[in-house]
Amino acid sequence: MLTRVGRSRLGILWLMAEPIILSSLISLLHWLSGSDLPNGLPVFLFYALGYVPFMMFRSIVNRGAHAIHANISLLHHSRITLLDVMVSRNLMEAMVCSTVIALYMVIATLFMGEPPHQPALFIFGLTLSALLAHGLAMVLASAQVVWEWVEHLVHPFTYLMLPISASFFMLDMMPQETRELLLWNPLVHVHEMNRWAMFGDRVTPYYDVSYVLLWIIMLNLLGMAGLRVARVRLSISD
């Protein structure tokens, strides 16, 4: 927490305020534009619950990719491993955005008459997204130890992921050829599943959980192997 927000109480409050403000502004802009969604889907809720899960993925990847250098002093304690650093940092990012999503769902249920169709499935989808991001963050963090120039690619990569992640659109809106291309991205499967978990049969989802799990296994195994290499490199540099 100290390496993420410092000692200020305002920093801790900003952890929650940042995703709320950004997602609310984006959703408000779409709502004010008068854009309609099929089957009476609520515009504000559709975009808010599309952007916050992506923001969680982006935060874990962006922050996690720099976690080794940000917490290098902790590694002087022999019992603290690189995996400990990555898990704790990424778990914190996931919990913050998950709390914001839970808040939106409570508001949707109490004030908008839009309870989640399958809340347990939405939680499962968030878990998959966090595990994807965690694996990718470990890969990028370990790569930065070996190749410093990787640091400059992380932020552009996550920004480029936004328009192809299905955060702001449904695959059902896309031509078949475009849909098939987008489905190569495992994050698209997660967002499609989350959308169905929230809105039920008002949407037509396209997702394959086994495909997402395969990506999670590959990224996390590669990431943990990369951390072992990175720890050796850090020991040599010390």
- What pLDDT, in 10s, does the model give residues 191-223? 999 999 999 889 999 999 999 999 999 999 999
pLDDT given for residue 4 in this prediction: 62
The SS3 assignment for 35 reads coil
Query: pLDDT tens digit string along 34-83?
Result: 667 778 788 888 888 888 889 889 888 988 777 777 667 676 666 778 88
Q: Dump strand ranges (E) for the chain.
A: none
Q: Beta-carbon neighbour count of residue 171 at 10 Å?
A: 22
Burial 81-111 (b: 16+ CB within 10 A, else e): ebeebbeebbebbbebbbebbeebbeebeee
Region at 90 (left for phi over 0; alpha for psi -120 to 50; beta for the rest): alpha
Which residues 6+ apart lie within 8 Å of 89 measured at CB? 3, 4, 63, 64, 67, 70, 71
Report which of 23, 6, 107, 26 is spatially closest to residue 59, judged by C-alpha positions.
Answer: 23
Tokens of 166: 């299905």
The distance from CA 175 to its chain's CA centroid, rounded to whole angstroms, is 26
pLDDT given for residue 33 in this prediction: 72
Which residues 6+ apart lie within 8 Å of 107 measured at CB? none
Rounded Cα gap, residues 154 and 137, in angstroms: 9
pLDDT given for residue 187 in this prediction: 94
Q: What is the mean pLDDT of residues 134-138?
A: 92
How many domains does the structure of the chain reveal? 1
Q: What is the mean pLDDT of residues 97-126?
A: 89
Q: Beta-carbon neighbour count of residue 177 at 10 Å?
A: 8
Quick check: 224 and 83 in contact, CB under 8 A? yes
Residue 182 has pLDDT above 90, yes or no: yes
Which DSSP category does 238 fall into?
Answer: -
Residue 7 structural domain: 2-237
> Phi and psi for 34 in degrees, rounded to 5?
80, 15
Rounded Cα gap, residues 21 and 13, in angstroms: 12
pLDDT given for residue 122 in this prediction: 92
Cα→Cα distances 115→71, 122, 198, Å: 40, 12, 7
Confidence of residue 1 (pLDDT cuts 50, 70, 90): low
